[in-house]
Amino acid sequence: MRRSLAYWNREFQRIESPILRYGFAVVAVAIALGVAFALQHYQFREVELPVLAVAIAFTTWYAGAGPSVVAVLLSSACFDYFFTEPLYSFNISTRDLPYFLIFVVWAGIVASFSAVRRRVEDSLRQTGDRLQVEVEERARREDEIKSLNRELAKRAAELEASNKELESFAYSVSHDLRAPLRHLAGYSELLQKQAASSLDHKGRRYVQTILASAKRMGNLIDDLLAFSRLGRTETRRTAVDLQQVVKEVVAEIGRDTKDRDIAWKIGALPVCYGDRSMLKLVVVNLVSNAVKFTRIRTRSEIEIGCLDGNNDEVEVFVRDNGAGFDMQYANKLFGVFQRLHLAEQFEGTGIGLATVQRIIHRHGGKVRAEGAVDEGAAFYFSLPNAHDATERTGSTP
């Protein structure tokens, strides 16, 4: 019953036609007049006032302000004509004038209260409708977010499985290539030793090319194996003194570059949080690249330092005055087997910077590079500070 009344209440209040609204006022007063006559016939006295007031209240509630005025006027006219002396006349006697005025005032009060309540209910209903729309919209967005999260989790699982398959494939291929490569290099060396006297200059050059290519392929396999092992190696995070790590790397590389004029500039470096062996590999790759690409300079200049300005992370750089690179190809630097220089100019396999990026990403950091052709290059890597490193690297694969 309550739901039915609420339904018809909403349906009546949706009436927009003026004819229906003002017709509702006339019908409501007519019905109230009939009820008043019926009650009067059954000896109920002075009931016309509340009955007509109820008609005015209903008209105000369901039809609005304009029809309520019509209802008040019609009710006043009917009250004067049928219920005040002299009957069946619009004249009002002095004795019945207060009674008539009370009816008019009461009708106005009822109409005003009904109008106020209607406005309040309309406002509440509109607010409820807006809230309902917002709730439905929020529920729809939450469903979309859940669907996207499920799809993202599915894609992440597929990507993780693909990465593991690729790592296993690279590891297996690298192992399978070692045996034939050893045979190739071994028999080439035997041929060089035993048949050197019978080979002409061109033949000896061919054998030397085979040996150099076998050696290069061996280096590629070694680097590929090291790169694939990074995905399976567990990181052991501790406090790492980068200053000490850089000193060790520079000392090791310095022993192999005694015949070169290299000006080292090492600034103050912080203590960070990570796997010491992996971070040392990062420094080795970056410093080795700087040494390699400054070989064309009479005096090589290599600077290692730390940028200031970010309290959440530390950013270390390795800068040199070497061959540099074109910035439009900077996105290729950290790809596997990606090289911007010919092998005849600078040796290498193109895996070192990919290894750097993978290690830094596992530590929750970023890598970037800046440079210009023949003007040197600078490589940057960021690491989280020790106080929030665990939080940032906890979800890093």
Q: pLDDT truncated to tens, each residue of the chain (397 aa)? A: 555 545 445 545 555 677 888 888 888 889 988 888 888 878 777 777 788 878 887 777 777 777 877 887 888 788 778 877 777 777 776 766 776 677 677 667 766 766 676 677 778 878 888 888 899 999 999 999 999 999 999 888 888 787 777 777 766 766 677 778 788 888 888 887 887 777 788 888 888 888 877 777 776 677 666 666 666 566 677 888 889 999 988 888 888 888 888 898 999 888 888 888 888 888 988 988 888 888 888 888 999 998 876 667 788 999 999 888 888 877 777 766 556 555 555 565 667 788 888 888 888 888 888 888 888 889 999 887 755 554 444 444 4
Cα-Cα-Cα-Cα dihedral sign, residues 216, 218, 221, 226: negative
Q: At 266, give phi and psi (nearest 5°).
A: -115, 115
Domains contained in the chain, CATH given:
1-232 (no CATH), 236-393 (3.30.565.10)
pTM of this prediction? Answer: 0.49
Cα–Cα dist 63/18, whole Å: 9
DSSP label at 364?
T
pLDDT of residue 392: 47
How many Å apart are CA 227 and CA 277, to the nearest integer?
14
Q: What is the pLDDT of residue 342?
A: 53
The answer to whether 341 and 321 are in contact (CB under 8 A) is no
pLDDT at 244: 92
Helix (H) or strand (E) holding 368: strand 367-371
319: closest CA among 346, 300, 334?
Answer: 300
Q: What is the pLDDT of residue 341?
A: 55
pLDDT score at 294:
87
Q: Do the Cβ atoms of 36 and 51 come closer than 8 Å?
A: yes
* DSSP-assigned beta bridge partners for residue 302: 264, 320
CA gyration radius for the chain?
46
pLDDT the model gives residue 310: 65
- What pLDDT is recorded for position 145? 92
Residue listed under structure tokens 């220089």: 341
User: What does each C-alpha distance from 223 to 5, 129, 219, 285 come to in angstroms?
Assistant: 80, 65, 6, 12
- pLDDT value at position 371? 87
Q: Which residues of 232-247 are buried (b: 16+ CB within 10 A; e: fewer)?
A: eeebebeebebbebbe
Length of the chain equals 397
Residues contacting residue 180 through CB under 8 Å, at least 6 positions apart: none
Long-range pairs, 217-222, Cβ under 8 A, ≥24:
217/177, 217/181, 218/181, 218/185, 219/349, 220/337, 220/349, 220/351, 221/174, 221/177, 221/178, 221/181
Specify the amino acid at residue 247.
K
- According to the model, what pLDDT value does residue 77 have? 83
Q: Where are the beta strands (DSSP E) in 187-310?
A: 237-241, 262-266, 271-275, 300-307
Distance CA 283, CA 380 (A): 11
